[in-house]
Amino acid sequence: MSNVIVANIFRFLGLVILQVLVLRSINLGGADFNYISIIIYPLFLILLPLRTPHSLLVLLGFVLGFFVDVFYDTYGVHASASVFTAFIRPYILAIYEPKGGYNINYSPTKHRFGINWFLIYAATLLFLHLFFYFSVDAFTFYYIGDIFLRTIFSFLVSIILVVIYQFVFDPKE
Protein backbone atom coordinates (compact mmCIF):
# COMPACT_ATOMS: atom_id res chain seq x y z
CA MET A 1 0.00 0.00 0.00
CA SER A 2 2.54 2.55 1.15
CA ASN A 3 4.84 1.26 -1.58
CA VAL A 4 2.35 2.40 -4.20
CA ILE A 5 2.06 5.86 -2.65
CA VAL A 6 5.83 6.33 -2.37
CA ALA A 7 6.33 5.13 -5.93
CA ASN A 8 3.71 7.58 -7.20
CA ILE A 9 5.11 10.50 -5.23
CA PHE A 10 8.54 9.86 -6.75
CA ARG A 11 7.02 9.46 -10.21
CA PHE A 12 5.15 12.73 -9.77
CA LEU A 13 8.30 14.63 -8.82
CA GLY A 14 10.43 12.91 -11.46
CA LEU A 15 8.00 13.56 -14.30
CA VAL A 16 7.37 17.21 -13.33
CA ILE A 17 11.11 17.88 -13.06
CA LEU A 18 11.80 16.10 -16.37
CA GLN A 19 8.98 18.04 -18.01
CA VAL A 20 9.79 21.54 -16.79
CA LEU A 21 13.59 21.38 -16.67
CA VAL A 22 14.39 19.29 -19.73
CA LEU A 23 11.47 18.84 -22.12
CA ARG A 24 10.20 22.40 -21.84
CA SER A 25 13.31 23.83 -23.46
CA ILE A 26 13.47 21.28 -26.30
CA ASN A 27 12.05 22.63 -29.51
CA LEU A 28 12.29 19.87 -32.11
CA GLY A 29 10.58 21.81 -34.88
CA GLY A 30 12.87 24.79 -34.70
CA ALA A 31 11.69 28.33 -35.23
CA ASP A 32 9.89 27.62 -38.52
CA PHE A 33 7.90 24.60 -37.41
CA ASN A 34 6.54 25.36 -33.96
CA TYR A 35 4.27 22.32 -33.81
CA ILE A 36 6.14 19.88 -31.59
CA SER A 37 5.96 20.05 -27.81
CA ILE A 38 7.12 17.00 -25.88
CA ILE A 39 4.56 16.38 -23.13
CA ILE A 40 5.20 13.41 -20.82
CA TYR A 41 3.82 14.45 -17.41
CA PRO A 42 0.29 12.96 -18.05
CA LEU A 43 2.03 9.59 -17.64
CA PHE A 44 1.62 10.15 -13.89
CA LEU A 45 -2.17 10.15 -14.29
CA ILE A 46 -2.01 7.25 -16.74
CA LEU A 47 -0.13 5.06 -14.23
CA LEU A 48 -2.07 5.85 -11.03
CA PRO A 49 -3.48 2.70 -9.36
CA LEU A 50 -6.80 1.44 -10.67
CA ARG A 51 -8.50 1.79 -7.31
CA THR A 52 -7.74 5.53 -7.03
CA PRO A 53 -11.09 7.25 -6.23
CA HIS A 54 -12.41 9.34 -9.10
CA SER A 55 -12.47 12.68 -7.25
CA LEU A 56 -8.95 12.12 -5.88
CA LEU A 57 -7.81 11.34 -9.42
CA VAL A 58 -9.25 14.63 -10.69
CA LEU A 59 -7.75 16.53 -7.78
CA LEU A 60 -4.30 15.01 -8.44
CA GLY A 61 -4.76 16.02 -12.09
CA PHE A 62 -5.21 19.59 -11.00
CA VAL A 63 -2.19 19.52 -8.66
CA LEU A 64 -0.01 18.01 -11.39
CA GLY A 65 -1.12 20.47 -14.05
CA PHE A 66 -0.76 23.39 -11.70
CA PHE A 67 2.85 22.46 -10.88
CA VAL A 68 3.67 22.29 -14.58
CA ASP A 69 1.85 25.59 -15.18
CA VAL A 70 3.93 27.35 -12.55
CA PHE A 71 7.06 26.62 -14.56
CA TYR A 72 5.50 27.18 -17.99
CA ASP A 73 4.00 30.43 -16.69
CA THR A 74 0.64 29.49 -18.20
CA TYR A 75 -1.57 29.30 -15.12
CA GLY A 76 -4.56 27.06 -15.75
CA VAL A 77 -3.72 25.80 -19.25
CA HIS A 78 -1.91 22.58 -18.31
CA ALA A 79 -4.08 22.24 -15.20
CA SER A 80 -7.32 22.24 -17.17
CA ALA A 81 -5.98 19.61 -19.57
CA SER A 82 -4.76 17.42 -16.68
CA VAL A 83 -8.09 17.72 -14.87
CA PHE A 84 -9.82 16.66 -18.07
CA THR A 85 -7.46 13.70 -18.61
CA ALA A 86 -7.90 12.56 -15.01
CA PHE A 87 -11.67 12.85 -15.33
CA ILE A 88 -11.97 10.73 -18.49
CA ARG A 89 -9.49 8.04 -17.36
CA PRO A 90 -12.12 5.71 -15.79
CA TYR A 91 -14.24 5.89 -18.94
CA ILE A 92 -11.25 5.06 -21.16
CA LEU A 93 -10.37 2.19 -18.82
CA ALA A 94 -13.95 0.92 -19.10
CA ILE A 95 -13.68 0.90 -22.89
CA TYR A 96 -10.48 -1.19 -22.89
CA GLU A 97 -11.51 -3.51 -20.06
CA PRO A 98 -10.03 -7.02 -20.63
CA LYS A 99 -12.31 -10.09 -20.70
CA GLY A 100 -11.73 -11.06 -17.08
CA GLY A 101 -12.13 -7.52 -15.78
CA TYR A 102 -9.50 -5.60 -13.87
CA ASN A 103 -7.75 -6.61 -10.69
CA ILE A 104 -8.29 -3.33 -8.91
CA ASN A 105 -5.17 -3.76 -6.81
CA TYR A 106 -3.05 -3.31 -9.91
CA SER A 107 -1.83 -0.20 -11.65
CA PRO A 108 -2.43 0.04 -15.41
CA THR A 109 1.15 -0.69 -16.49
CA LYS A 110 2.86 -2.56 -19.30
CA HIS A 111 4.15 -4.99 -16.69
CA ARG A 112 0.61 -6.02 -15.62
CA PHE A 113 -1.38 -5.83 -18.84
CA GLY A 114 1.13 -6.22 -21.67
CA ILE A 115 2.54 -3.76 -24.17
CA ASN A 116 -0.34 -3.89 -26.66
CA TRP A 117 -2.99 -3.05 -24.12
CA PHE A 118 -0.86 -0.39 -22.47
CA LEU A 119 0.03 1.27 -25.77
CA ILE A 120 -3.61 1.64 -26.83
CA TYR A 121 -4.70 2.86 -23.41
CA ALA A 122 -1.85 5.35 -22.91
CA ALA A 123 -2.08 6.61 -26.49
CA THR A 124 -5.80 7.37 -26.12
CA LEU A 125 -5.34 9.34 -22.93
CA LEU A 126 -2.23 11.14 -24.17
CA PHE A 127 -3.88 12.13 -27.43
CA LEU A 128 -6.99 13.49 -25.70
CA HIS A 129 -4.81 15.29 -23.19
CA LEU A 130 -2.80 16.97 -25.94
CA PHE A 131 -5.89 17.89 -27.91
CA PHE A 132 -7.49 19.48 -24.85
CA TYR A 133 -4.24 21.23 -23.95
CA PHE A 134 -3.73 22.79 -27.39
CA SER A 135 -7.39 23.80 -27.53
CA VAL A 136 -7.14 25.68 -24.25
CA ASP A 137 -3.80 27.07 -25.40
CA ALA A 138 -5.41 28.51 -28.54
CA PHE A 139 -8.64 29.26 -26.65
CA THR A 140 -10.63 29.32 -29.88
CA PHE A 141 -11.55 26.67 -32.45
CA TYR A 142 -10.87 29.17 -35.18
CA TYR A 143 -7.43 27.57 -35.62
CA ILE A 144 -8.73 23.99 -35.39
CA GLY A 145 -6.32 22.88 -38.14
CA ASP A 146 -3.37 24.20 -36.17
CA ILE A 147 -4.66 22.55 -33.01
CA PHE A 148 -4.87 19.18 -34.76
CA LEU A 149 -1.41 19.55 -36.31
CA ARG A 150 0.15 20.41 -32.97
CA THR A 151 -1.71 17.55 -31.29
CA ILE A 152 -0.62 14.98 -33.86
CA PHE A 153 3.04 15.98 -34.09
CA SER A 154 3.42 16.35 -30.33
CA PHE A 155 1.61 13.07 -29.79
CA LEU A 156 3.93 11.12 -32.10
CA VAL A 157 7.03 12.33 -30.28
CA SER A 158 5.58 12.10 -26.76
CA ILE A 159 4.17 8.58 -27.10
CA ILE A 160 7.61 7.31 -28.10
CA LEU A 161 8.97 8.76 -24.87
CA VAL A 162 6.13 7.22 -22.85
CA VAL A 163 6.91 3.77 -24.29
CA ILE A 164 10.64 4.21 -23.70
CA TYR A 165 9.83 5.09 -20.09
CA GLN A 166 7.89 1.80 -19.75
CA PHE A 167 10.81 -0.21 -21.06
CA VAL A 168 13.47 1.58 -19.03
CA PHE A 169 11.71 1.55 -15.64
CA ASP A 170 9.10 -1.15 -16.30
CA PRO A 171 7.06 -0.06 -13.25
CA LYS A 172 4.86 -2.59 -11.49
CA GLU A 173 2.94 0.01 -9.61
Partner 1 sequence: MRNLIFLFVRHGGFVTFIFLEILCMYLVVNNNQAQREIYFNSVASVSDALTDRYDNVAQYIQLSTVADSLARENARLLAEADNARFIKAIFRDSIREPEKGQLFVFQSAKIISNSINRSNNSITIDRGRNHGIKPSMGVIGADQKGVVGIIKRCTGNYSRLIPLLHRQTKISAAIQRNGYFGSIVWRGNDSRTVSMIDVPKHAQLEIGDTVQTSGYSTIFPPGIMLGTIDTFWRQPGSNFYEINVGLSMNFSSVKYVYVVENMHQEELNQLESAESDE
User: Given the rule CB under 8 A, which residues bind partner 1?
Assistant: 53-55, 57-59, 61-62, 65, 69, 74-77, 79-80, 83-84, 86-87, 90, 136, 139-140
Nearer of residues 58 and 162 to partner 1, judged by Cβ: 58
Nearer of residues 24 and 111 to partner 1, judged by Cβ: 24
CA 1-18-42 angle, to 5 degrees, is 60
Nearer of residues 42 and 61 to partner 1, judged by Cβ: 61
Query: Cβ neighbours of residue 32 under 8 Å, at least 6 residues apart?
Result: none
Nearest approach, Cβ of residue 82 and partner 1 (Å): 9
Nearer of residues 70 and 159 to partner 1, judged by Cβ: 70
